Structure 1
Amino acid sequence: MIRTPDHLEIRDERFRALVHPMGKLEQLCTGFTWTEGPVWFGDRNALIFSEIPSQTLYQWTEGQGLSVFREESQFNNGNTRDPWGRLVGCRHGTRDVVRTEYDGALTVLASEYEGKRLNSPNDVVVSSDGAVWFTDPTYGIISNFEGNRAEPEQAARHVFRIPPGGGAPVPVISDFAQPNGLCFSPDESILYVAESGSSHDDTVPPVIRKYAVDGETLTSLGDFATLDCGLPDGMRCDVQGNLWSSAGDGVHCFAPDGTLLGKILVPEVVANLCFGGPDGQRMYITATSSVYRVFVDVKGAEPWTRSARA
């Protein structure tokens, strides 16, 4: 019988079907200060991720290793792809959400609300109808480490939605201390949002909240899960509806009912993760100073993790 490796912690027997005891935790690259925003590009067989303090977007490709994708990224943090395969990112420095067009040009999708600058957009997802959903905590204006120190102009730390086709961002959630990572369930009927306010306030619980989605309307379904180590940041769902969240000791996997199934233990604090690889069954993990990869026996819910996209 194959022994459960040290990097896997089984909390529920269902977790064994989602991982494999022979799948190793690999360190792909290291030497960074704070990595974030991983997103898989199947059409170029590459991972793109942020190194926030150095204001650099990197690309990692099998067989070629690490290269610079974009310099002077304005403290770019979270990234995703839209249904047309374009990169969408959140920039702390310019306090905006930006899309990279096919020719490399940048289009600002949102930079203000009601005539006031956004706080510092952090993470972003795009639903299948083209609406852009993003979180706007204050991490990028608290200090000069991952942004530019400034006083917030917004009255709250909102979760915003930009309508399909563009337009002004609309707040859809406004009661978080610090909204952070977010992701949809596979059928987009549920939106999960991470509360990371415990980073600066111990009284804020490290929870993931759950919302029913009806077009542009969200209905709170309460707390989905509470982390037992660290705080939630970036998150992704797999095709079975399990939620994989970053945490202080690695990646925590929760069943759709909120049960903690198990953990992928990582020797650094994890900020974010994504599914990718040629079969969509490699999990790429951005931790404090390194990027890791591990095989998981389930595919990611986002379409570009399952096949190459143009």
Structure 2
Amino acid sequence: MTINPAPPRLRAELVVLDDRFRTVAGDEYLECLYDGGRWLEGPAYSAAWRCVVFSDIPNDRMLRWDELSGQVSVFRQPSGYVNGNTIDRAGRLISCSQGDRRVVRTEYDGSLTVLAAHLEGRRLNSPNDVVERSDGSIWFTDPPYGITSNYEGHAAEQEIPGCHVYRIDPDGTLTVVADDFLRPNGLAFSNDEAHLYVVDTPGKHIRRFDVTGDKLTGGEVFAPCTAGMFDGIRLDGAGRVWAATHEGVHCFDPDGTLIGKLLLPEVVSNLTFGGPKRNRLFVTATTTLWSWLTNVQR
């Protein structure tokens, strides 16, 4: 099933707060790649497939924007109310299935492998966002958004007290790596993997942890949110943190300074870098998938 994408462009509205942002800002226009979702999330760029896979959570489906044709099609429906996605180093899609309360991997033949669903016999809350580390471990956040109502999942009781950050080792072992969050959300490793950045959405900040082996220490506040709340985050090749907010995308220097903003007409949920040069920023914002060509690479 193919869905015709929306063709219009929008002039990029940039707010330069620091001269360091001037070297980052890119194209004059934003491209609208698709406008027809209910609450879009979790964009993940596949270089092998030349596409962006993203989630339309309340509609219980995953969509696929093709880079060569510009067409949008249904990737999977029902999807298990998938939220966050990432592509692992083997080119496979890893997804946070809120409705099924598990983390799954799409294999090359299209079958699904469950990577995590229970902690000590209790069901996870509703996995939200996910990243892979170079050692093959999978790290994800587990707030209860998918079980608080039937809108983005299935209303259910929370079996695990608290909302944690987890690590799945290559052998399948599931471990809590951080347990002092209100509702952890987006997460991303620094380029050298010495740090893990994690959003605490109701806390309205991003925290930065030191990564030592397979453990996290520290966890100081890296940056507060000045526009609603943070959601998804990504880093570029220079270590700048790009964060989804209620007014658009905020760009932070590695020292934590907010250096600039890309304003959008909708609440932004998540983002990722992609394209042949990894310099194209794909942004999910409520109903719309946007693209912005930048001067940075991931």
Q: TM-score range by the shorter chain?
A: over 0.9
Aligned equivalent of 1:119: 125
- Aligned equivalents of 2:170, 2:28: Cα separation in 1: 40
Aligned-residue offset at 1:83: 1.4
Aligned equivalent of 1:28: 33
Aligned-residue offset at 1:85: 1.1
Matches within 5 A, 1:1-310: 7-20=13-26, 22-62=27-67, 63-167=69-173, 169-197=174-202, 205-300=203-298
Q: Does the aligned pair in 2 maintain the 1:23–1:296 contact within 8 Å?
A: no
Q: Does the aligned pair in 1 maintain the 2:253–2:259 contact within 8 Å?
A: yes
Deviates more, 1:55-64 or 1:33-42: 55-64
Q: Does the aligned pair in 1 maintain the 2:189–2:197 contact within 8 Å?
A: yes
List runs of 5+ in structure 2 lacking aligned partners: 1-10
**Identity %, equivalent residues:** 49
TM-score by length of 1: 0.91
SS at match of 1:43: coil
Aligned-residue offset at 1:6: 5.4
More helix by share: 1
RMSD: 1.0
Aligned equivalent of 1:202: none
Aligned equivalent of 2:7: none
1:33-58: per-residue Cα shift (whole Å, max 9, x none)?
Answer: 10000000111211110000111110
Q: Which amino acid aligns with 2:280?
A: R
- Aligned equivalents of 1:98, 1:267: Cα separation in 2: 32
1:261-284: per-residue Cα shift (whole Å, max 9, x none)?
Answer: 101111100000000112111100
Which structure 1 residue ranges, 4+ long, deviate > 4 Å from structure 2?
A: none
Aligned-residue offset at 1:64: 3.7
- Aligned equivalents of 2:255, 2:211: Cα separation in 1: 17
- Aligned equivalents of 1:219, 1:90: Cα separation in 2: 25
- Aligned equivalents of 2:169, 2:47: Cα separation in 1: 27
1:207-232: per-residue Cα shift (whole Å, max 9, x none)?
Answer: 00000001211011400000100111
Q: Which amino acid aligns with 2:287?
A: S
Q: Does the aligned pair in 2 maintain the 1:40–1:47 contact within 8 Å?
A: yes
SS at match of 2:29: coil
Aligned-residue offset at 1:165: 3.1
- Aligned equivalents of 2:171, 2:123: Cα separation in 1: 21
TM-score by length of 2: 0.94
SS at match of 2:191: coil
Q: Which amino acid aligns with 2:51?
A: A
Q: Which amino acid aligns with 1:157?
A: C
Aligned-residue offset at 1:82: 1.3
Q: Does the aligned pair in 1 maintain the 2:123–2:159 contact within 8 Å?
A: yes
- Aligned equivalents of 1:248, 1:219: Cα separation in 2: 29
Aligned equivalent of 1:308: none
Aligned equivalent of 1:307: none
List runs of 5+ in structure 1 lacking aligned partners: 198-204, 301-310
